Structures are given as C-alpha cells and as structure tokens.
Amino acid sequence: MHHRARRRAANLKSEFAKRNCKMIAVSVDDVTSHKGWIGDINETQHATMNFPILGDPDRKVSGLYGMIHPNANDTLTVRSVFFIDPNKKVRAMITYPASTGRNFTEILRVLDSLQLTDHHQVATPADWKDGDDCVIVPSLTDPEEMKRKFPKGWKALRPYLRMTPQPNR
C-alpha cells in the first residue's frame, strides 16, 4: 500500500472495526523498508499505523493471488483489495492501476453490501449507498417469509425485481 493509502486505512480502522472487519496490507517490499515507512507515515500523514503489513519481497503471496496489476512493472506496488469472509473465501476484489489511488469510500460500500446480502437476503443495485433501497434476492419467493423479513414492505417492479427499504436501517 502506498503511504497515503496506509494513512487512510489507518484513519478508518474504526469504520472497519464497526463492520467486524480486520485489515492487512501486503507489500512487495521487505519488513525493514516497512519499519522506515511507518515512522514517515506517522510523522507526515498524521496517522498511526494500526494494522499488520506483510512483507512480500519475493512476490510469492502477491503472485499467488494475482495482486499485481498485469500491466505494471516489477517495481510497482501491489494494487488489489481483497474482501475475504470469515470462511476465508474471497468474495470480491478491486484491482487498481498504479496511477489510481484506492477509493476507501467504495471499499467500505462494497463491504457494507456484502454484509447486508449475507444477513438480510438482499442485493444492492448500481450506485447503492448505505440507506438506499435494496433488491430482495430472487430466490426468496415465500410471501409469508418475505413479510417477516421485510416488515417495511416492498415494491415489485417486476416479479424478479422487488425493491425494499434497507432492512437494517
């Protein structure tokens, strides 16, 4: 992770903790380099590094998971964000080109969407933000179960497209 991304992640640790999510960074640099950067980050970015960083100078981990952008040269940083659930299953991945900073608002939005789907049997439509209406998953068809799960009701735009207020709001 680049210095600014590490700072941003460190400053958002409480947001990730509220979602019962832990962060870890993987870097293609060695641990000695990290120790120097941590002091720089703490001093220049007004943040305290508060999550682990895995040194991967031989690129073994980053290679196994396809974490380096395919058009990047060997000296550029790992540019992927993985969302791994408690069962160690990769649920989503965002890969950025080296020239584009990570969007932590989007990272938190994806995390919220994944957790909402897991807990409430809804999907989130394009451009969804926390608090917006959701789509009831098509596999849920029993009207009585739907009434229990979605007491605020729903609007059927199509038989397969049923919108409901976000269940946990």
Rounded distance between C-alpha atoms, residue 48 and residue 41, angstroms: 7
- For residue range 13-65, list pLDDT tens digits in order: 889 999 999 888 777 777 666 666 666 656 665 656 667 777 888 888 877 87
100, 139: one domain: no
Q: Could you tell me the pTM of the whole model?
A: 0.79
153 domain-assigned = yes
Helix (H) or strand (E) run with residue 29 in it: none
59 with 88, same domain: the answer is yes
For residue 90, the enclosing domain spans 3-107
Same domain, 85 and 125: no
CATH number at residue 140: 3.30.1020.10
Q: What is the pLDDT of residue 75?
A: 54
In a domain, 129, yes or no: yes
| Number of independent structural domains in the chain | 2
Same domain, 34 and 81: yes
The answer to whether residue 116 is domain-embedded is no
Helix (H, G, I), strand (E, B) or coil at 59: coil
